[in-house]
Amino acid sequence: MKEQFNSFIEDLRAAHGDNLMSVVLYGSAATGEFTPYKSDYNLLIALKQITPRDLRSAQPPLREWKRLGHPLPTYFTVTELRDAADVFPIEFHQMEKARLVLYGADPLEGLKISDANLRHQTEYELRSKLLQLRRLYIPASVSVEKLQELMSDSLGSFAVLFRAVLLMQNFEPPTAKPEIVRMTVQKLGIDAAPFAKIFALRERGAANLNETEAHELFAAYLEQIERVIDFVDKIKDES
C-alpha cells in the first residue's frame, strides 16, 4: 500500500498544487486493525479552498484510486475542519485517537472537539445502524454464511459508536475495537457473549454454526445493541 499511497499523493499534488494542505489516513488502517478485503482505507484530504473547479481537478486521481478498489476520500477545507469539530464529534474523536498524516501538516493538531452534540449524534447513528441491520437481516437470513458475514461486518461499525458511548461516560476508550466492546459491555452491564462470538467469527473468517445457532446469535446480538441504545436514550432523559 505504501507504493499506492505515494502514487496517489503525487497525483493529488499534480491535481491541486499548492492548494493541497494535508492527506490523513484514519480508521482501522491507522489503528492496526485493518482486515484485507473487508476494511477500507479512510482518507481525509484538506485543501485551502474547495470550489467546483478544485473538485473537477480531483477526478483523474480519484478515478484511479477508486479503480484500485478504495472508497472516495472526504474533502474538507482547513477552515471547515476547525468549524465542523462540534458537528461530527464521533468522527473527529476517532481521528484524534488514531490517524496517520501521509502528506502535509496535521490538520487536527490542536483542534478542540466539542462534545455538545455527541449524545445526539451517537443515538442517531446507533438507531440508523440498527434499522439497517434489521433491513439487511432479511436477505441474509437465507444463508448461515451471509448471516455470519452480516454480523461480522456490522460489529466493526457498532464498535466505533460504542467508543462514543464510553466518552459520554467520561471513560477513556481503548483503541482496538474488541477492547472497546469489552469495556462497553462491562460498564453498561450487558451480555458480552454475543459480541465475543462475533469477534471470533471475524478472526476465523468462518465458523461451524448451524442455522439455528446463527439465528439465535443474531437475535442475542440485536438485543444487546437495543440495550445500548436504551442506555444512550436515558442519558437524554436524565439531562
- For 27-41, what is each residue's pLDDT tens digit? 777 666 655 555 578
Q: Shortest CA distance to 130 belongs to which of 206, 224, 10?
A: 224
**What is the DSSP code string of 85-133?**
GGT-HHHHHHHHHSEEEEEES-TTTTPPPP-TTHHHHHHHHHHHHHHHH
The model's confidence at residue 113, banded by pLDDT at 50, 70 and 90, is confident
Tell me how far apart the alpha carbons of residues 176 and 154 are, in angstroms, rounded to a whole number.
Answer: 16
Q: Shortest CA distance to 57 belongs to which of 12, 18, 4?
A: 12
Determine which helix (DSSP H) or strand (DSSP E) holds 77, and give its type and residue range. Answer: strand 74-77
* Mean pLDDT computed over 123-147: 96
- Where do the domains of the chain lie, and which CATH numbers do they carry? 2-104 (3.30.460.10), 118-238 (1.20.120)
Tell me how far apart the alpha carbons of residues 204 and 209 are, in angstroms, rounded to a whole number.
Answer: 12
- Inter-residue contact 34 to 118 (CB < 8 Å): no
Q: 155 or 91, which is more confident?
A: 155
Q: What is the largest CA-CA distance in the chain?
A: 59
The model's confidence at residue 203, banded by pLDDT at 50, 70 and 90, is confident
The model's confidence at residue 206, banded by pLDDT at 50, 70 and 90, is low
Q: Between β-strands 42-47 and 74-77, what pairing exists: parallel, antiparallel or unpaired?
A: parallel
54 has pLDDT over 60? yes
Q: What pLDDT, in 10s, does the model give residues 171-181? A: 999 888 899 99
* Mean pLDDT computed over 97-107: 89
Q: Which three cell numbers stand for residue 59?
A: 477526478
DSSP 19: G
Judge if pTM exceeds 0.85.
no
Q: Which three cell numbers stand for residue 52?
A: 467546483
Tell me how far apart the alpha carbons of residues 131 and 127 are, in angstroms, rounded to a whole number.
Answer: 6
